[in-house]
Structure 1
Amino acid sequence: MTLLSLQKPWIRNGIATGCAVAAVGGVAVAGVDSGNEVQDVKLLSGTAWLPSGRVGQLSLLDGTSTEVSAQVQVAQPGSVLDVVQAGPNAYSVDQTAGTIRRIDGATFEVSAPETPIQGARAGLTAFAGSGKLYIVDTQRGLFTNADPRTGRALSTPQTLATQIAPNTTGIDNNGRLWISDNATGDVRTLVDGAEQDPIKKVTQPGRSMLTIVNGKPVVVEVAARKATVVDPLLRTADMTVDLDLREGEEVQLSGSPYGDRFYVVAPRGVLTICGLAEESCSNAVPLAGGRLGAAVEAGNRLFVPDYTTGQVWIVDLDKKTVLAQPRVVKSARQFQLVSRDGVVFFNVPDSDEAGVITLDGTVLDVAKYDKNDPNKGLNAPIKGVPTQPNPQQPPQQDPSQVPVLPPTQQQPPTQG
């Protein structure tokens, strides 16, 4: 079966082909041939699994062809879904049901749901990398390691004795999970389901954030206006970078996966680009104030989502200037930006809207599913029930027996 047989008929008109993407934005992957077998295509870079909670599905979007390569059912319609990608494979995180499923990137097979932490719902989070899979309940401060082939817990959930604040956790290139403990100022590490001795007093107790920068944990302490770099091998935190932050600012933090730099986005409309070797960070790019998200890096560009306008700010990393401000959604709403192998995808989780943003700002829209018939094009029906059911929840009907309703008949997604 060739790639052409995977094309979905509801892809919106006006979408460029893979060659057009290469010509316009330079994001196509060399060597892609539409005559290759499907399995070969999926081993190439530049694909992203995107969630659609309204219909309970994940869609695999190919950034080169801007086409939907796969569409799988992973949850009940109206579920709160997240997705974690590990190479070509993905893990669906169903915060409504409290379950994890693995999607095989080569066969599109969806595993049976697992409940690695009983009772976890809105706080259920997964981290995957280097053959490791960690499941965290951020609300109760619980964690466990899981089988990356199934999502099943490999150990009894353990407690971190603290609630895990948003944007304080990251996984490095060696599969170690790092957590900034806001209650103590320590940085904690999980390896294969076991907590290591904490790195003491990296920050003062209070609000801090953590990101991974080229394999190194970096902790930003807003009140102290500084970033602290953690050496993952020596387990020391001696290097700091001064930041130009205002007291009480709710900034957005992200790190470069390729270089020793990190990015701070302030709601007053400033993007700051910081090098780890700098004593102070002064490379500021003016944006516009509003509800801004974390910067995403691809191809020597930074992409900053603006939820107030529905636009994305594209910044040249070398010149530190704004190149374009394309609009990706028509109204002010939350959307996701995902960078995979040099391709930037946008996704609106509660609708069929998604697409690719090229390096020059061209927006290529793609419908993840047919909103008039969400079942159309499914690769496989949903199957299975959790092997570790939560005793606190009433029995539910087998999801494989529940029909997927058109969006007009669905209830609004649960937000908890």
Structure 2
Amino acid sequence: MNKRTRLVTAAVVVATVAASVLVAGPGYDAAQVRMHAGTVWLASNRTGQVVLADGASAELVASVKVDEPGAALNIAQRGSDALVVNQETGVLSRIDGATHDVTPSTAVLPTSPGLLVKAAQGVVYGVDVHNGEISSIDPDTVAPRGRQQLAEKFRPDSVVVDGHDRLWAIDDESGDLVWLTGGERRTRTAETRSGHLTITAGLPALVDPERGTAELLSPDTGAVTRSLSTGLKAGETIALSGSAGRSRLLIANSARGELTVCTFDAGSCSEPMHVSAPGSELGTPIEINDHAVVPNLSTGQATVVDLTTSRVVAQRELFDRPTRFELLTRDGIVFFNDPYGNTAGVLDLDGKVRTITKYTEGTAGDTPSPSDPRARADQAVQVENRKQQPGLGISGQPVVTSRQNQVVTPPKPAASISVSPGNRGATGTDFELTMVLPQAGDATIRWSFGDGTAATGTTVSHSWQRSGVFTVRAEATLATGAKAHAETTITIDPADAPPAITQLNVHRPKPVIGESVHFSADVAGKPDRWRWTVTKTGGLTTEATAQTAEFEHRFVTPGVYAVSLTITRGTRTAQSSRQFTVARGAVKGWGRDFAGALKIPQAAESGVIAVDGGGSHSLALKSDGSVLAWGDPAAIEATVPPEALTGVVAIAAGGYHNLALKADGSVIAWGRDEFGQATVPSEAKHDVVAIAAGPYQNLVLKSDGSVVGWGHTPYGPLPVPEAAKSGVTAIASGPYHNMALKADGSIVSWGRFEGAEIEAPPEASSGVVAIAAGTMYSLALKADGSVVFWGLNRRNSYTVPAAAKSGVVSIDTGAWHILAQKADGSLIGWGGNNLDGELTIPAEYDHGVLDYATGEGFNLVVLEDLP
């Protein structure tokens, strides 16, 4: 009846240029960390900050701004100091570990994508991965000492520094080993096309899957001093790290989902240990206290392995989506961090996870930065820091959310940029760019392309003559004198760049059976052949294949699947894979079963993507865009109208009526109509992006950010106030009042309560991301994951429990009770009197929840229900 909205997290994360092979993720040399006990520096790219995290308390010690928001930062830690380089501009900063002061920044390398910083005891190295250039830097003043060419270009995950300040790398053109000692370039022919370097016990080691070998190298000559057989095969993708105190390697094999431990002193490699499904993208493992921790970038999980017993002791979800996170250690503590998000934390070896929030989302915005690879993979249209959400269940519907009447969908943006043929290409490629304004009219548009050139016009053509990531900005001056701005990023690869896959896209990342799942990829190098394969984990047959750039497939069986893509250009290929889950989408329920609201039909036992509960009836939205209804015939009129059997993307159940939002932006209503609630006005029959149904009235949110309402409350109609006729991003409707969430995080409420405050309190006057309207009370979900309650609090039963004061991602309220979902997927219930057990959440319904809803005295959930 009174619906929730959900704090939605971007799910698209793509590969970036990797740096140190001593940790999982860019930019940390674990062997060089000498911090105060249990603290470590972490990148926060979206805010342009570096934060100091304390592992004992799982809290932030300091946040230090070093660059503009959106800068791609790479960190090396030397003693208690942090050395931070902008990976695109080559500007290096040093943060003093004691005072947290920032040394004046210095440009240590020319502007180029893929710049890294490596710290040693007596020198700091700036590394240009693409050009093979090294800059030696004074570690105290960050002043450059000199530059030299070490290779044509470096293999990105094989640039390391040993225990004697030597920098080692693999020339990605020749496959030769190169290193720098005492300022002198040295080289040895290795001719390894798939080799990886790491440091173990202070010495360089080379692992080559093509030859199936692990080699310990002489620090003076680069010659092989010890060699082991690893059992690796050509073409297998690995991530590699070395122990600090012994000659031991950890090899994570993505192709097989295995971890292999090779010990040079023992002269052997262990039997592989399974840590993930085959085809997962595994990050660089780390070693701590005779344990290994292996990150799974495809799932956001980490697996803890006891190296003394060769057994998995814990597997924990650190992120609820595929995320290119990093792991690093300090003083027996394992830290994890998403450099492009606001989440970091501590993982204990027993599997306990303690999350650290690096910044409040509202302060940094929800927009991936230009340097964040997510911005290149998903050029989302933005308005007031809110990202337009794709529809669910109906392929290719980008306008609305199908989470019933959850109103996370924003109005149309002030302006955006359309790019053809896409946001990535090679040098010399002609791009066509168009500035899209919400309203047609005369406008003067000026462009800047990030390479020092400019143009004017609504649609312009441009080509870039050098590689890099360029920010394109457009400014429109309207006839009224008002201005509108938009920007996007374009990635330009060298003309002869080999094919590369930066992101595999699965829309949605967790579909249900019967849903059309769209597969695509972000690639570089102009591939001329594509080969897709989808397999089910543990299955013997291939689920689907394709040889096109994009394709769609409907799954009939739930489970864990892997999608793999191989692209070819001439004789060169690139391969990538990722895991995803196909859920059954089964509806379950508990609480009061008045009039059959919990008599769930067989058709709702699979293929459901959203549910909603009314006064004494239930709704479900199927993956094929059809609506199911069951319960009180007075509310559902026995059958769903034909118009709601196809193309529906959102549902809302009122007291004795229902709403359905179609993909074309029109609204359908059916059920009792004594207050006019089932008669849709003309202004709600087009351009609608969200719906909300109260017991006797309705609200819709239109694409221009305005709210339209109809129906009555017991006190009469509630005309929409002027404040809710523009800039609205979310709506909620209750029995006696309505709510609208504005783009600035403030709330507009209208209606009346008896003896209770209807206006939002100060703590809910800003930073709100979701709202819900109950019976004479209101709820707000803040960006920090806390819930705020105000209104009639009978017997203090609606006081927000401690568990709902942090970590909440969504809220929903029925007539007299409340549910909230935590970031770990668990549900919390409070309010009411629990006479029907609606607040007692069954254990089997407290995990794997895809969607949930409250009705009057009952609840519904949609479960993964995997085999």
Report the equivalent of 1:276: 264
The C-alpha deviation readout for 1:293-313, integer Å capped at 9, x for no partner, is: 111111221111112221100
Contact persistence 1:274–1:283 (CA under 8 A): no
Question: Map of 1:10-409 to 2, 5 A cutoff?
Answer: 44-119=36-111, 121-155=112-146, 157-192=147-182, 194-198=183-187, 200-201=188-189, 203-233=190-220, 235-267=222-254, 268-288=256-276, 289=278, 290-373=280-363
Contact persistence 1:189–1:197 (CA under 8 A): yes
Q: 1 CA distance for matches of 2:37 and 2:491?
A: 33
**Structure 1 stretches of 4+ moved >6 Å:** 409-416
Q: 2 CA distance for matches of 1:213 and 1:43?
A: 21
Q: 1 CA distance for matches of 2:172 and 2:361?
A: 43
The C-alpha deviation readout for 1:232-271, integer Å capped at 9, x for no partner, is: 2565323111111122011111111122100111112110
Q: 2 CA distance for matches of 1:245 and 1:78?
A: 38
Q: 2 CA distance for matches of 1:176 and 1:413?
A: 36
CA 1:249–1:219: 2 relative to 1, 3 Å = same
The C-alpha deviation readout for 1:207-251, integer Å capped at 9, x for no partner, is: 211000010100111111101111225653231111111220111
Contact persistence 2:315–2:351 (CA under 8 A): yes
SS of the residue 1:78 aligns to:
coil
Q: 2 CA distance for matches of 1:136 and 1:240?
A: 29
CA 1:415–1:368: 2 relative to 1, 3 Å = farther
Gap regions ≥5 residues in structure 1: 1-41, 376-391, 396-408
2:186 maps to a residue whose letter is D
SS of the residue 1:325 aligns to:
strand
Contact persistence 2:284–2:294 (CA under 8 A): yes
Residues matched between the structures, number: 341
Q: 1 CA distance for matches of 2:58 and 2:237?
A: 34
Contact persistence 1:178–1:188 (CA under 8 A): yes
Q: 2 CA distance for matches of 1:331 and 1:197?
A: 43
**Per-residue deviation at 1:80?**
1.3
CA 1:182–1:222: 2 relative to 1, 3 Å = farther
**Per-residue deviation at 1:48?**
1.1
Contact persistence 1:310–1:327 (CA under 8 A): yes
The C-alpha deviation readout for 1:90-147, integer Å capped at 9, x for no partner, is: 111212332111111000011222111123x322111102132011111011112001
Deviates more, 1:177-186 or 1:100-109: 177-186
Question: Higher RCO, 1 or 2 (CA under 8 Å, sep at least 6)?
Answer: 1
The C-alpha deviation readout for 1:339-379, integer Å capped at 9, x for no partner, is: 1222111111111101101121100011112333359xxxx
SS of the residue 2:272 aligns to:
strand
Q: 2 CA distance for matches of 1:280 and 1:245?
A: 14
Contact persistence 1:101–1:150 (CA under 8 A): no
Contact persistence 1:183–1:205 (CA under 8 A): no
The structure with more radius of gyration: 2
**Per-residue deviation at 1:66?**
1.4
**Per-residue deviation at 1:62?**
0.8
Contact persistence 1:79–1:414 (CA under 8 A): no
CA 1:238–1:46: 2 relative to 1, 3 Å = same
Superposition TM-score, scaled by structure 2 size: 0.38
Report the equivalent of 1:403: none
CA 1:52–1:67: 2 relative to 1, 3 Å = same
Contact persistence 2:151–2:171 (CA under 8 A): no
Q: 2 CA distance for matches of 1:317 and 1:243?
A: 17
Residue identity over aligned pairs, in percent, reads 33
CA RMSD of aligned residues (A): 2.5
Q: 2 CA distance for matches of 1:150 and 1:255?
A: 30
Q: 1 CA distance for matches of 2:42 and 2:491?
A: 18
Contact persistence 1:180–1:219 (CA under 8 A): no
CA 1:410–1:90: 2 relative to 1, 3 Å = farther
**Per-residue deviation at 1:188?**
2.1
SS of the residue 2:46 aligns to:
coil
**Per-residue deviation at 1:88?**
1.1
SS of the residue 2:105 aligns to:
coil
Q: 1 CA distance for matches of 2:361 and 2:122?
A: 35
Gap regions ≥5 residues in structure 2: 1-33, 366-449, 454-484, 493-867
**Per-residue deviation at 1:283?**
3.0
1:273 maps to a residue whose letter is V
Q: 1 CA distance for matches of 2:105 and 2:490?
A: 19
Superposition TM-score, scaled by structure 1 size: 0.77
